[in-house]
Amino acid sequence: MKYTQKDIEKSNRIITRRGIVLGGAMMGFMGILGLRMRQMQVEEAEDYRLLAEENRINMRLLPPARGVIFDRNGIPVADNSQNYRIIIVKEDAGDVDDVVARLKSLIPLDEDDLERAMREINRRSPFVPVTLADRLTWDEFSTVAVNAPALPGITPDVGLSRHYPMLEDFAHVIGYVGPVSDYDLSKIADPDPLLQIPRFQIGKVGVETKLEEDLRGKAGTRRIEVNAAGRVMRELGRIEGTPGTDIQLTIDAALQNFAQVRMADESAAAVVMDVHNGDLIAMGSAPAFDPNMFVRGISGPDYRKLTENEYRPLANKTVQGTYPPGSTFKMITALAALEAGVIGPDDTVYCPGHTTLGGRRFHCWKRGGHGYVDLDKSLVQSCDVYYYDIAARCGIDKIAEVAKRFGLGTRHDIPMSAVAEGLIPSTQWKQVVRGEVWRPGDTLNASIGQGYVLASPLQLAVMTARIASGKAVSPRLVKSVSGTADPVPTMAELGTNENHLRWIRRAMFRVSNSERGTARRSRIVTEGMEIAGKTGTSQVRNITAEERARGVTRNADLPWNRRDHALFVAFAPFDKPKYAISVVVEHGGGGSAAAAPVARDIMLQALYGGLPPLEAYPAGQREAIGELHDTWPLRDMPKPGPARSRA
Amino acid sequence: MSYLEYQVKSVPTGFRKILYANWALVALLTAVASIGFLMLYSVAGGTLSRWAEPQMIRFGMGLTAMFIVAMVPIWFWRNVSGLAYAASLVLLVFVEFFGVTGMGAQRWIDLGFMRLQPSEVMKITLVMFLAAYYDWLDIKKVSHPFWVAIPLVLILIPTALVLNQPDLGTAILLVAGGGIVMFLAGVSWWYFGAVIAGGVGLVTAVFTSRGQPWQLLKDYQYRRIDTFLDPASDPLGAGYHITQSKIALGSGGFSGRGFMQGTQSRLNFLPEKHTDFIFTTLAEEFGFIGGFSLLVLYALIILFCIMSAIQNSDRFASLMTLGIAATFFLFFAVNMSMVMGLAPVVGVPLPLVSYGGSAMLVLMAAFGLVQSAHIHRPRAK
């Protein structure tokens, strides 16, 4: 086909024209692309730069080492131990099952842990490290480390975990840590980001939780670059955290250990306190438990064993337990009466074995009565009628006032969980709380530490310390924080007549040392170390008139939880008081038989700073005690030292 | 003027032809491809062997192919264009049944030394064949409905086949490329106006019908359209690619983060970083300067083609050159719009830069055709 010249020109014209239109359109569109590029890369560049940083940079928290808790001599009682773990990275392992099987042939693996780990491995990205086993022994750990070449993807790793080297000795004082729970988080308004770390440990009970803020420390951070899949590519920077503050307690680990061992078979509590500065030297609560179980995560059966035990091992009886103080309260009643001026030290009361008030009989523990009783005799023989008489004369409100001055019915500020306030009744209290009028009979019951009166072993120790020192000593559990000693406050005067206190101390001395004293068996014979105490036996049941008529059932014939509580408070040495002690043996029977020997033994231990020579005991008991000394499974104490934990 | 009227003597012969090639265009193509090598080297984390080296070999093969095609007189190519179109169509049908699908949706045939994607070949042979068609067609009949219907069928058959793969990007390129050749050939504006109006009408109808009793599409289809048009509504799914791509691009800033310093690509936030999204790495590492430079190089390539086409008084040569330029333009325009978040994500590579054998070879061969047209253009006596 042949085109005419006209056709050709027309065709060329069209192509040229349309080619230019097309070219213009294309250039125009490229202009738009260029402008868009400019908009994104010049005008909005900063925004995108920020987004890119957010994309790639991740902050990871570095958990700080928790502060170490030392006893008063620098022996660590809560530290951080190396937790040897085995970590697996799936993509390095290749055949996970094969590697795990090989690992199993080397060290024992817990089936449950393994199953959990396997589930996690399958759920997470293949490059995420998963813990296969932890808390390995050094031997297991080194076995794995040596065989690492045969175990692709397996890394032996070391982390820190809380460890309580004194096992159950400090279970109640220090408490324990555990992984943060949702419940814990719900209680905190503005949680530290550290708490979001899976399995991060925080204090749950005791000093661990009360001083959590100090002990926790500050998190460090690690800036890491991650790729789109979250894999860590490299570390960009690291700010080390601040380890938690070390805390030194006033407790003496050796004495604490002795107290726990001494009370091992009882449901009991003992508090030893320095009468001058209020340092709590020992706070034993038996039975106890191994707090390490809780750090690891306690198993259901183990936990049930603790909760179902009628001796209540989980309760910290030194501060949580409140008991009718029984006759140990008589010092307070006597001091109130002396202060009220209703009796003098030599005034006597006749005790026929009971007294009658408003048609009701109030019995003395001694059926036949004590005859004429003065202040000294009333404490030494613990006559009840004497106290009914003087209490009725001075009134409950005076007694309550004195009791509070001596530290009863007050919550003492020490960093422990559930510190009880106890109860010192007064007419106003009964009116407000019970909505009833105070009856004279209530005063009689209160005068011998029964009825409404409740006190914790800690409060009884404080009371005794105040009687011994005449100062308003307050209990103290923390000796120093981070190496700086917590200042001991100057103890205020009690404002009680020193003569009155001297008479009371003298009578307490005779309780322990005189021929007729109720605690004579538990005396200390070493010169200059004599103990002065007061026994107490508090009823937990009512004795009916009918029972009284046919003879009160002996404790040994009652079921355990119906028996009387045995109490004993004391200070020593008598002429130069150093320590005060209170011991409560739940349902232990009589104070002189069950509580006083425990208190004496602990006191001797405190005075001698270790097992005392047998000469300190009354001659007749030495042989038996000597045998006991050998059977007490006391813990070997490590060398004290300011050594920081291996963080 | 037709080839038969050539003063053959005025057209260079033998190896002298090579002197008459459009060398500026060769230089521009090499420059663009070099940017590609650089970026492929970078996204491979500084290794040649992964992507850059194979790409260089292919570019070498492409250059060779370009010169071989360029040496052959343009009238030969016009004469075989029908055959080339038919062969591409046969290959397309063949891969429908025997091809292998991988990496997206394109189907390919394994030739041993490379994987051939017939859909890539079709982009060029369609343009060639349409140019030949309009060269043959009487200029007065160009806008006649019958003679308009024929090229439409020629376009729609391969389009239907690639849509079936399904390869939306190639389908768009085929329709747009073919349409542009028809436009250049002088098909009446009315047809284009009608098609555009019809398209707008249809889209409007589809969207206004949503939620109405006479709704034209199913609900899930609308939802699919939604994420297609606005990927940001699904930031971790369909929107993830585009969001990350925009972050990479924008964070490059004016001068970029520096060669091999792009964090987005290095840390795998970018998908398809060596193929469809390679422009983002360029923009991240060399910033606005790098991205704009590439755009200028592309613009120059287009300009050289347009100038060559306008100077050429041969109808087939002009139409084909412009058609190829337009196809080339569509490649990078669609790709760049996509990575800049101006257009939905459709799989179209960045020409001569993205890693890929078929596209590179086919494009270089296409530029061989442009060169052939340039060398063998009719010259004044």
Tell me if A33 and B253 make a contact (CB, 8 A cut-off).
no
Q: What confidence score (pLDDT) does residue A225 get?
A: 77
A311-357 pLDDT per residue, tens: 999 999 999 999 999 999 999 999 999 999 999 999 999 999 999 98
Residue in B closest to A37 by C-alpha: B288
Look up residue A267 and give its amino acid: S
Mean pLDDT of all residues belonging to chain B: 86
For residue A463, the surrounding DSSP H or E stretch is helix A457-469
Mean pLDDT of B328-339: 92
Q: Are A297 and A429 in contact (CB under 8 A)?
A: no
| A190 torsion bin: left (phi>0), alpha (psi -120 to 50), beta (else) | beta
How far apart (Å, rounded) are the C-alpha atoms in residues A618 and B181? 122
Residue A43 confidence (pLDDT) above 80: yes
A351-385 pLDDT per residue, tens: 999 999 888 889 998 888 999 999 999 999 999 99
Q: What confidence score (pLDDT) does residue A54 get?
A: 78
Mean pLDDT of A70-91: 87
Mean pLDDT of B28-41: 95
State the pLDDT confidence band at A647, using cuts at 50, 70 and 90: very low
What residues of A are in contact with residue B336 (Cβ under 8 Å)? Answer: 33
More reliable by pLDDT, A555 or B27: B27
More reliable by pLDDT, A62 or A335: A335
Residue-wise DSSP of A509-530: HHHHHSTT-TTGGG---STT--
What residues of A are in contact with residue B314 (Cβ under 8 Å)? Answer: none
Q: What confidence score (pLDDT) does residue B380 get?
A: 64
User: Which stretch of B81-95, B249-263, B293-307 has the lowest confidence by average pLDDT?
Assistant: B249-263
How far apart (Å, rounded) are the C-alpha atoms in residues A14 and B315? 10
Residue A2 confidence (pLDDT) above 60: no
Q: With helix as H, strand as E and coil as C, how does A590-642 read? A: CHHHHHHHHHHHHHHHHHHCCCCCHHHCCHHHHHHHHHHHHHCCCCCCCCCCC
Q: Are B233 and B263 in contact (CB under 8 A)?
A: no
Q: What confidence score (pLDDT) does residue A343 get?
A: 92
Mean pLDDT of A595-618: 93
Residue A646 confidence (pLDDT) above 50: no
How far apart (Å, rounded) are the C-alpha atoms in residues A263 and A568? 14
Interface of A with B in 10-39 (CB under 8 A): 10-12, 14-16, 18-20, 22-23, 26-27, 29-30, 32-34, 36-38
Residue in A closest to B186 by C-alpha: A14
User: Which stretch of A224-238, A557-571, B3-17 has the lowest confidence by average pLDDT?
Assistant: B3-17
* d(CA B310, nearest CA chain A) in Å: 5
Q: How many CB pairs under 8 A join A and B?
A: 150
How far apart (Å, rounded) are the C-alpha atoms in residues A625 and A336? 39
Interface of B with A in 298-327 (CB under 8 A): 298-299, 302-303, 306, 309-310, 313, 315, 318-319, 322, 325-326
Q: What confidence score (pLDDT) does residue A124 get?
A: 72
Q: What confidence score (pLDDT) does residue B99 get?
A: 65
Q: What confidence score (pLDDT) does residue B217 get?
A: 77
> Which of helix, strand or coil describes residue A534?
strand
More reliable by pLDDT, B161 or B15: B161
Tell me if A15 and B136 make a contact (CB, 8 A cut-off).
no
Q: What confidence score (pLDDT) does residue A537 get?
A: 92
Q: What confidence score (pLDDT) does residue B211 get?
A: 78
Q: Which two tokens stand for residue A342?
A: 């209703």
Residue A101 confidence (pLDDT) above 70: yes
Helices A596-608 and A253-262 pack at an angle, to 10 degrees, of 160
Residue in A closest to B179 by C-alpha: A22
Mean pLDDT of A148-161: 81
Mean pLDDT of A8-16: 86
Most confident of A70-79, B107-116, B212-221: A70-79
Inform me whether the C-beta atom of residue A223 falls under 8 Å from chain B C-beta atoms: no
Residue-wise DSSP of B244-305: HHHHHHHHTTTT-S-TT--HHHHTT-STTTTTTTHHHHHHHHHHHHHHHHHHHHHHHHHHHH
Closest Cα partner for A59 from A190, A191, A225?
Answer: A225
How far apart (Å, rounded) are the C-alpha atoms in residues A443 and A397? 9
Q: What percent of chain A has pLDDT over 70?
A: 97
How far apart (Å, rounded) are the C-alpha atoms in residues A422 and B275? 78
b/e per residue A567-599 (b: at least 16 CB within 10 A): bbbbbbbbeebbbbbbbbbbbbbbbbbbbbbbb
Residue B238 confidence (pLDDT) above 70: no
Tell me if A41 and B248 make a contact (CB, 8 A cut-off).
no
CB atoms within 10 A of CB A178: 22
State the pLDDT confidence band at B246, using cuts at 50, 70 and 90: confident
What residues of A are in contact with residue B249 (Cβ under 8 Å)? Answer: 37, 40-41, 48
Degrees, nearest 5: CA angle B299-B303-B309: 150
Residue B154 confidence (pLDDT) above 80: yes
Mean pLDDT of A71-82: 91
How far apart (Å, rounded) are the C-alpha atoms in residues B213 and B221? 16
Tell me if B254 and A41 make a contact (CB, 8 A cut-off).
yes
Residue among B186, B267, B340 whose CB faces A18 most closely: B186
Helices B145-163 and B74-98 pack at an angle, to 10 degrees, of 40
Q: Which residues are registered as beta bridge partners of A82?
A: A160
Residue A558 confidence (pLDDT) above 50: yes
**Where do the H-state alpha helices sit in A107-247?**
111-123, 138-146, 171-174, 182-187, 206-210, 212-216
ipTM of the complex: 0.91
What's the start-to-end Cα distance of chain B, in Å? Answer: 13
Q: What confidence score (pLDDT) does residue A27 get?
A: 95
Q: Please identify which residue in the block is written with the tokens 């290749």.
A: A94
State the pLDDT confidence band at B176, using cuts at 50, 70 and 90: very high
Tell me if A41 and B313 make a contact (CB, 8 A cut-off).
no
Q: Which of A1, A3, A10, A22 to mutate to test binding with chain B, by most B CBs within 10 Å of its CB?
A: A22
* d(CA A296, nearest CA chain B) in Å: 38
Q: Are A103 and A86 in contact (CB under 8 A)?
A: yes
Mean pLDDT of B300-309: 94
Tell me if A226 and B267 make a contact (CB, 8 A cut-off).
yes
Degrees, nearest 5: CA angle B22-B26-B30: 170
Q: Are A418 and A370 in contact (CB under 8 A)?
A: no
Residue A582 annotated to the active site: no
A451-495 pLDDT per residue, tens: 999 999 999 999 999 999 999 999 999 999 888 888 888 888 888
Interface of B with A in 25-84 (CB under 8 A): none
Residue among A30, A37, A228 whose CB faces B267 most closely: A228
Residue among B287, B298, B319 whose CB faces A41 most closely: B287
Q: Please identify which residue in the block is written with the tokens 């009578």.
A: A507
What residues of A are in contact with residue B139 (Cβ under 8 Å)? Answer: 3, 7, 10-11, 14
Interface of A with B in 502-531 (CB under 8 A): none
What residues of B are in contact with residue A10 (Cβ under 8 Å)? Answer: 139
Tell me if A227 and B267 make a contact (CB, 8 A cut-off).
yes
Q: Are A399 and A438 in contact (CB under 8 A)?
A: no
How far apart (Å, rounded) are the C-alpha atoms in residues A31 and A318? 84
Tell me if B248 and A52 make a contact (CB, 8 A cut-off).
yes
List the catalytic residue out of A285, A327, A447, A522.
Answer: A327
Helices A330-340 and A396-405 pack at an angle, to 10 degrees, of 110
What residues of B are in contact with residue A8 (Cβ under 8 Å)? Answer: 1, 313, 315
Question: Residue A254: which residues within 8 A CB-CB, separation 6 or more?
Answer: A605, A609, A610, A634, A635, A637
Inform me whether the C-beta atom of residue A543 falls under 8 Å from chain B C-beta atoms: no
Residue among B139, B291, B298 whose CB faces A37 most closely: B291
For residue A567, the surrounding DSSP H or E stretch is strand A565-572
More reliable by pLDDT, B355 or B14: B355
Q: What confidence score (pLDDT) does residue A183 get?
A: 79
Look up residue A404 and give its amino acid: K
Mean pLDDT of A211-217: 89
Q: What confidence score (pLDDT) does residue B206 get?
A: 86
What residues of B are in contact with residue A228 (Cβ under 8 Å)? Answer: 244, 267-270
* d(CA B175, nearest CA chain A) in Å: 16
Q: What confidence score (pLDDT) does residue A444 get?
A: 93
Kindly state which CATH superfamily the domain A71-249 is placed in: Penicillin-binding protein 2a (Domain 2) (3.90.1310.10)
State the pLDDT confidence band at A3, using cuts at 50, 70 and 90: low
Q: Are A402 and A335 in contact (CB under 8 A)?
A: yes
Q: What confidence score (pLDDT) does residue B113 get?
A: 66
Q: Which two tokens stand for residue A152?
A: 């692709």
State the pLDDT confidence band at A296, using cuts at 50, 70 and 90: confident
Closest Cα partner for A334 from A406, A271, A273?
Answer: A406
| A369 torsion bin: left (phi>0), alpha (psi -120 to 50), beta (else) | left
